[in-house]
C-alpha cells in the first residue's frame, strides 16, 4: 500500500512546477474574463465623459439618463425644449406642470422621450432627458444628448440645428 501511494505522488512532485505555471495562467485568464465587463463599463464612462460631456457640461449616467443644468429661468428652458422637439419632428404628447417644474414627453419612431425640467433657482434650471426604446436596460443616450445640445443652442440665441439636417428635410417635404 505504501509503495502504491509513493508511485502516485511521484509524478505529481515532478510536475509540480508545470502544474503551478498552468494554474497561474488559468487563474489569470479566469480573472480577466470575470472582470472584463467592469473594464468595459469604465471605458464607456470615460468615453462619454471625455467626449461630449466635458465640452458641453452634459452629464451621462450608466442607466441612460442625460442631465444638464442651464443658467436660465424655467420658462425659457421649457420654451427652448419645446422648440427643439418641434425642430426634431418629435410630437409632444404631454406638457404638464409639476411640483418641481415641468414634465414634457414626446415620441420619435419607437422611442419615448421624457424631459423633466426642475427649477433650482429663479435663474437656474436642471434638465433631465431619457430617450427610452422600450427595453429595460437600453436607453438612447445619443438622442437624449442631442435634445439637450439643441436646447442649449436655442437658449444661446442660435436656433439653427447644429447638424444642418433640418433644412434638408424641409426642402424634401416641400418637393415631395
Residue of 59, 68, 47 whose CA lies nearest to 153: 68
84-109 per-position pLDDT tens digit: 999 999 999 999 999 999 999 999 98
* pLDDT attached to residue 39: 47
What are the DSSP E strand ranges found in the chain? 59-60, 66-70, 92-97, 101-108, 111-121, 124-132
CATH superfamily of 58-175: Sirohaem synthase, central domain (3.30.160.110)
CA distances from 72 to 23, 81, 105, 151, 157 (A): 61, 12, 21, 11, 12
Tell me the whole-structure pTM to 2 decimals: 0.59
Question: Strands 66-70 and 111-121: what pairing?
Answer: unpaired
Q: Worst-scoring range by mean pLDDT, 7-11, 74-78, 90-94, 119-123?
A: 7-11
110-113 long-range contacts, CB within 8 A, separation 24+: 110/134, 111/140, 111/143, 113/85, 113/143, 113/144, 113/147
Average pLDDT of the chain is 75
pLDDT tens digit sequence for 125-165? 999 999 888 777 778 888 999 999 999 999 988 555 555 44
Q: Residue 47 — pLDDT band, cuts 50, 70, 90?
A: very low
Amino acid at each position: 500500500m505504501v509503495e502504491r501511494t509513493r508511485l502516485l505522488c511521484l509524478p505529481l512532485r515532478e510536475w509540480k512546477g508545470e502544474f503551478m505555471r498552468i494554474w497561474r495562467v488559468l487563474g489569470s485568464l479566469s480573472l480577466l474574463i470575470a472582470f472584463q465587463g467592469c473594464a468595459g463599463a469604465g471605458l464607456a464612462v470615460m468615453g462619454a465623459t471625455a467626449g461630449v460631456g466635458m465640452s458641453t457640461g452634459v452629464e451621462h449616467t450608466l442607466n441612460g439618463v442625460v442631465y444638464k443644468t442651464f443658467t436660465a429661468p424655467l420658462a425659457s428652458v421649457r420654451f427652448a425644449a419645446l422648440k427643439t422637439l418641434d425642430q426634431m419632428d418629435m410630437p409632444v404628447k404631454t406638457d404638464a406642470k409639476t411640483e418641481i417644474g415641468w414634465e414634457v414627453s414626446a415620441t420619435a419612431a419607437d422611442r419615448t422621450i421624457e424631459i423633466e425640467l426642475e427649477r433650482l433657482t429663479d435663474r437656474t434650471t436642471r434638465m433631465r432627458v431619457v430617450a427610452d426604446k422600450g427595453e429595460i436596460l437600453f436607453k438612447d443616450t445619443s438622442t437624449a444628448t442631442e435634445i439637450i445640445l439643441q436646447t442649449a443652442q436655442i437658449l444661446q440665441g442660435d436656433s439653427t440645428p447644429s447638424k444642418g439636417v433640418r433644412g434638408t428635410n424641409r426642402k424634401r417635404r416641400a418637393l415631395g
